[in-house]
């Protein structure tokens, strides 16, 4: 069985080389809207999505994320747009990380579908647990108490990703009754 959606899911790759050119507002809104249609536990819509295109805030995010991994490199691969996803603390909403992860996945698939590159980036939980991170969340207009779930680097592709690795054997199983 095959169709456009299944083909796109097989072809999407994490992009780690972006052009400096900023994506259009229309492209950004399409990706963000796709995130809002990700399934969430009980339809709660807990995640908060913040797209950052401000160079000063991006520089701060780069510095904060690199510090968590004790690196000097740009963990966001010089993408012109960074999309952050936040959610409630697990004590408040146990599905928070799962819901936010689905939002990130939807946005990456949407980006691919419209010709943009994206890459899932980690360490937002650690970044936004700091005092600096909490101040930045307030500056971004977020309510207190959220946790960072993850982010995506987003932009025009400068260098295509490598082809997919072969899928491991026995990746899935089908169990049928008699």
Q: What is the pLDDT of residues 126-151, one digit of tens each?
A: 999 999 999 999 999 999 999 999 99
Residues 96, 144, 60, 54, Cα dihedral to 10°: 90
Here the CATH number for the domain that contains residue 91 is: 3.40.109.10
**Domains identified in the chain, total number:** 1
Distant-in-sequence, close-in-space partners of 10: CB < 8 Å, separation ≥ 6: 164
- In this structure, is residue 170 part of a structural domain? no
Stated pTM of the model: 0.96
Range of the domain at 89: 19-155
- In this structure, is residue 61 part of a structural domain? yes
Kindly state the percentage of the chain with pLDDT values over 70.
100
- In this structure, is residue 38 part of a structural domain? yes
- In this structure, is residue 178 part of a structural domain? no
Q: Are 129 and 64 in contact (CB under 8 A)?
A: no
Instruction: Give Cα separations from 78 to 13, 85, 86, 137 (angstroms).
Output: 17, 19, 21, 21
Q: How confident is the model at residue 11 (pLDDT cuts 50, 70, 90)?
A: very high
Tell me which DSSP letter residue 20 carries.
Answer: S
- In this structure, is residue 176 part of a structural domain? no
Q: How confident is the model at residue 18 (pLDDT cuts 50, 70, 90)?
A: very high
């Amino acid at each position: 069985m095959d169709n456009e959606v299944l083909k796109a899911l097989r072809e999407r790759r994490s992009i780690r080389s972006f052009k400096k050119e900023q994506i259009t507002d229309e492209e950004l809104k399409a990706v963000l809207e796709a995130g809002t249609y990700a399934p969430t536990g009980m339809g709660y819509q807990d995640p908060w999505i913040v797209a950052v295109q401000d160079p000063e805030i991006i520089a701060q995010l780069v510095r904060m994320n690199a510090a968590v991994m004790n690196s000097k490199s740009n963990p966001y691969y010089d993408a012109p747009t960074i999309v952050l996803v936040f959610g409630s603390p697990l004590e408040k909403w146990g599905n928070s990380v799962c819901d936010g992860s689905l939002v990130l996945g939807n946005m990456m698939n949407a980006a691919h579908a419209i010709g943009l590159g994206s890459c899932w980036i980690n360490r937002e939980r650690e970044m936004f647990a700091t005092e600096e991170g909490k101040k930045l969340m307030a500056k971004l207009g977020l309510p207190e108490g959220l946790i960072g779930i993850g982010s995506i680097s987003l932009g025009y592709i400068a260098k295509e990703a490598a082809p997919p690795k072969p899928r491991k054997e026995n990746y899935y199983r089908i169990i049928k009754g008699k």
